[in-house]
Structure 1
Amino acid sequence: MSWRFILMIIISISWIPILIFFVTNINSKLISQVQITISKPWTLVTRNNVRLSRLYKKYNLLLNLTAFKTNHLSNKTIIYSCTSFCGGWGDRLRGITSAYILALLTDRHFMIDMNYPCDILKVVEPNFVNWTYVKHNKSKNRTRLYINTMPSWQKAYRNNISNMIKSNDFVKVWSSYDDIIISANSDYMTPALHNIYMLNKTQQLLGQIPISQATTQIFVAFLFELLFKPSIAVRNRVDSILINSRHRHLICLHIRIGKNPTNPLDVAFTARENTTKSMIDFVDNYLLNKSSSLIFVTSDSSQAVSDILRHYPNSSMSIVGPILHIDRFDRRSPTICDGFVKVIADFYLLGECQTLLLSTSGFSSWANLRRENPNEELYHYNEKLGKIKKLIT
């Protein structure tokens, strides 16, 4: 081999790092994030980067992505507030995404004020949209409108708010207020996008997507990635499972029992007492046909988790940490924030499952929408029948 030929090989190889740098910087952060996954494909961060890239490709030619990623620098705000009773994580996501869409439609700055059960920044951080809550100086004379539709007994008030967002010019109605503070778990996104007064603004947001298709179900996965990225504490919990699930089919069980010794302050669901047994029987009979399967379980009952781990001693896992319902908990507990971290870690991990068995719960329903294929291998515990049924969303 001549020295000239060897020299040509060295020169050619030396161009590879430059070429990689050029390619990964052609079109922003999204492309570079995909490159990272080649070396570390089993971490939550890299999986989320791939997910966001996939969503970006799906919507790039359809949605006005720039408008969706914009947090207006207006002096007027819409603030999602959760400082007391505001439901579980599924309820909160419904309220947060609704408030964000309302902020986009009204050209207001969007923020999240959540310190219940502890600061939201302990579990998720701003991603492409900086929603960090900044308190205004109390000395400033700002007008505020408080919208709290959480109390279910305020039916007339809840209906009035829903009807206004659906049928009235809420931009005009709210125009005299500097700050609009919203505590809600209702879906205001869908009716707001279909409001005839918002037609021009909605069309600017949706781009090529017909207004008839503008629903929370369609946009929630994309909005979640735009708004949030997991905190370090959450990432560490999830990665401990993902690393062990390499090359294995991940079957996930969400067992929502309701009031039980682990969560004595929760609502009672008497028809769910056989959920754990039904899920075990279904997995044994229909799903465990591959030796490579790994079962992940999350539940509001420590007994349910123990039953699964005991039944599958060599092929089941759960995320460590105290079991907590983030809206119904013992305020004297010293582990509340740690429990909040576990809840969000469980939520993220449910989005990585190839097969998912759900209880009736907004928590796992929203997690399912983040899966790469939400409609595939999706099953639900039917309380009336006491059986697991395939679910089509």
Structure 2
Amino acid sequence: MHIYKAFPSETFFKLVAISIGVAVTCLMCNIVDYSFFITLPRRTKDKFAKTDKIPEKVFSGRNNNFELQSSYLVSLNNPIYDTNRDIRILRKETLKNIVVEHEQDCPDKQFLIYKCSTQLCGGLGDRERGIVSSFLLALLTNRTFVIYMTKPCELENFIGPFFYNWTICKKYIETVQPENISEHYHICGQRLDSFYTNIPNMNFKEVWTHQIVIMHTNVYNHLMNNIKLHKDIQRQMNWIINMTNPEIVHLVLHTLFKPRQRLNEQLFELVKNNLNGRHLVCSHIRIGKNPSIPGDLNLSEGKPKTQTIYSFLKRFKNPQKYALYIASDSNEVRHDIMSNFKNAFNVNRTIVHVDRLKNVYKTTNVCEGLFTAILEQQMLSLCDTLLITRSNFGTIAAYMRGSSENLFLYQTDIDQVFSTNLTNIQIIYRFF
């Protein structure tokens, strides 16, 4: 069955507006407060779960904790984004217990902070996992949520708050005395610690007595599963109970973030210079330790066999129909694709793993490395067809994209590319 089609000639670009940053103030004013989640009839295939193991998700009016944005025309000097996907964010009502409207109200609040500064945090995908988990814990415990990420530089340089402002109390928390702060490290590699398994029965009021609780974490699937089992979940967060984890990640990240102007402009240039009305095919190919990032680790499952991925991508070589975007942690992969696909493009920026820096300080601006990572992930989230290899970075991009349509995985142990859905990514890749 032929599932690929080029853009209609009359459409300049079909992109997801929220993923590329709804950076104009008027858009905030145009958000419509729906009492239930709506799936647009024109995009009925845009569902999260399509699998024999997990039933297809059908949304109804019983779940009223969403706001929907769709079909906005967003301008950056020129109207370029003709959106055609549902945008999902949490409702104001869902956030009311943790919102701070004014800086002077900060001293009266309790906080949960996701922190990434000098300690091990992981790459961008690990950090986004920790942000999602920390935000959910903040909602569960009625603590105002703050992101304090300064490694390798301030996150706010490139991405700002969207529907929930996580920056208002940042200055205040820097004035709080150490005796009013508790700090918790739950960065996991190959195994989980007991904090996550104890969540269903945890009395957070007794465990977390300080005004500020700081979380260092990179776990999300295990935490989301156990939060759904918490004894207070029906009262505190009933909207989460019947949600798939990909939906939760999509909701949280789109509620929290919108790219700054520079990031929007870079996305605009990539799109304007390369799409020309064609179907956007993307692939993220994670290699692990290689000459481009020698400080990275070897992948536990082994490196992907790139020739299998290249063979799959050959079906998209027609330059009249397809534009091929490649994101990778390897310059060799970039070079191979650019040499063999005339319709290929990439960001053409230095590759940096934001937590495996080693001597990179001597060779490049590490803040630019973070910017590049965010830019690449945002671009992947806009794709009409997306192929990912096993990585948190690519998986989060797929969740941000929010569609199982034209989604493909490469699985190293069987050396195959196959069609899948968002929910099955976790089943196959088994992330914490």
- Give the TM-score taking structure 1 as reference length: 0.79
Provide the residue aligned with 1:167 in structure 2. 201
- Shift of residue 333 of structure 1? 3.6
Q: Which structure shows the higher helix fraction?
A: 1
Provide the residue aligned with 1:145 in structure 2. 182
- Shift of residue 192 of structure 1? 1.8
Alpha-carbon spacing, 1:152–1:246, altered in 2? closer, same or farther (3 Å): same
- Shift of residue 26 of structure 1? 12
**Distance (Å, rounded) in 2 between the aligned partners of 1:199 and 1:217:** 20
- Shift of residue 199 of structure 1? 2.8
Alpha-carbon spacing, 1:385–1:336, altered in 2? closer, same or farther (3 Å): same
Identity of aligned residues (%): 26
Q: Is 1:134 aligned with 2:171?
A: yes
- Shift of residue 367 of structure 1? 0.6
Q: Is 1:337 aligned with 2:375?
A: no
Note if contact 2:250-2:402 (Cα within 8 Å) is conserved in structure 1: no
- Shift of residue 241 of structure 1? 1.7
Alpha-carbon spacing, 1:72–1:300, altered in 2? closer, same or farther (3 Å): same
**Distance (Å, rounded) in 2 between the aligned partners of 1:274 and 1:200:** 45
Alpha-carbon spacing, 1:290–1:161, altered in 2? closer, same or farther (3 Å): same
**Distance (Å, rounded) in 2 between the aligned partners of 1:225 and 1:274:** 30
Provide the residue aligned with 2:62 in structure 1. none
2:112 to 75, 78, 81: 78
Alpha-carbon spacing, 1:214–1:168, altered in 2? closer, same or farther (3 Å): farther
SS of equivalent residue, structure 2 residue 215: strand
Partner letter of residue 142 of structure 2? D
SS of equivalent residue, structure 1 residue 260: coil
**Distance (Å, rounded) in 1 between the aligned partners of 2:295 and 2:185:** 23
SS of equivalent residue, structure 2 residue 295: strand
**Distance (Å, rounded) in 2 between the aligned partners of 1:193 and 1:280:** 40
Provide the residue aligned with 2:217 in structure 1. 184
- Shift of residue 103 of structure 1? 1.0
2:87 to 17, 37, 54: 54
Provide the residue aligned with 2:429 in structure 1. none
- Give the TM-score taking structure 2 as reference length: 0.73
Q: Is 1:311 aligned with 2:340?
A: yes
Q: Is 1:293 aligned with 2:322?
A: yes
Q: Is 1:258 aligned with 2:285?
A: no
- Shift of residue 138 of structure 1? 4.4
Provide the residue aligned with 2:398 in structure 1. 368
2:145 to 110, 133, 144: 110
2:351 to 311, 323, 332: 323
| 1:107-131 CA-partner distances (Å, limit 9, x unpaired) | 1111001011211112211111111
Provide the residue aligned with 1:18 in structure 2. none
**Distance (Å, rounded) in 2 between the aligned partners of 1:260 and 1:214:** 38
**Distance (Å, rounded) in 2 between the aligned partners of 1:340 and 1:140:** 31
Partner letter of residue 42 of structure 1? I
- Shift of residue 353 of structure 1? 0.7
**Distance (Å, rounded) in 2 between the aligned partners of 1:121 and 1:180:** 21
| 1:92-119 CA-partner distances (Å, limit 9, x unpaired) | 1111011111111211111001011211
Alpha-carbon spacing, 1:270–1:200, altered in 2? closer, same or farther (3 Å): closer
Note if contact 1:353-1:371 (Cα within 8 Å) is conserved in structure 2: yes
Provide the residue aligned with 1:42 in structure 2. 80
**Distance (Å, rounded) in 1 between the aligned partners of 2:384 and 2:391:** 19
**Distance (Å, rounded) in 1 between the aligned partners of 2:214 and 2:300:** 36
Alpha-carbon spacing, 1:34–1:382, altered in 2? closer, same or farther (3 Å): closer
**Distance (Å, rounded) in 2 between the aligned partners of 1:96 and 1:231:** 19
SS of equivalent residue, structure 1 residue 186: coil
| 1:159-205 CA-partner distances (Å, limit 9, x unpaired) | 3211232322223321x2111000001122332232013331123xx
**Distance (Å, rounded) in 1 between the aligned partners of 2:356 and 2:417:** 27
Question: Does 96-105 or 194-203 show the bigger shift?
Answer: 194-203
1:379 to 386, 399, 408: 408
Note if contact 1:102-1:189 (Cα within 8 Å) is conserved in structure 2: no
> How do residues 192-211 of structure 1 correspond to structure 2 at under 5 angstroms?
192-203=227-238, 206=239, 211=241
Question: Does 382-391 or 260-269 show the bigger shift?
Answer: 382-391
**Distance (Å, rounded) in 1 between the aligned partners of 2:96 and 2:373:** 27
Note if contact 1:143-1:179 (Cα within 8 Å) is conserved in structure 2: yes
**Distance (Å, rounded) in 2 between the aligned partners of 1:256 and 1:305:** 11
Note if contact 1:190-1:214 (Cα within 8 Å) is conserved in structure 2: no
Larger RCO (alpha carbons 8 Å, 6+ apart): 2
Alpha-carbon spacing, 1:41–1:225, altered in 2? closer, same or farther (3 Å): farther
- Shift of residue 225 of structure 1? 1.2
Provide the residue aligned with 2:312 in structure 1. 282
- Shift of residue 150 of structure 1? 1.1
**Distance (Å, rounded) in 2 between the aligned partners of 1:199 and 1:271:** 38
Alpha-carbon spacing, 1:186–1:137, altered in 2? closer, same or farther (3 Å): closer
- Shift of residue 328 of structure 1? 0.7
Provide the residue aligned with 1:16 in structure 2. none
> How do residues 231-270 of structure 1 correspond to structure 2 at under 5 angstroms?
231-243=260-272, 244-269=274-299
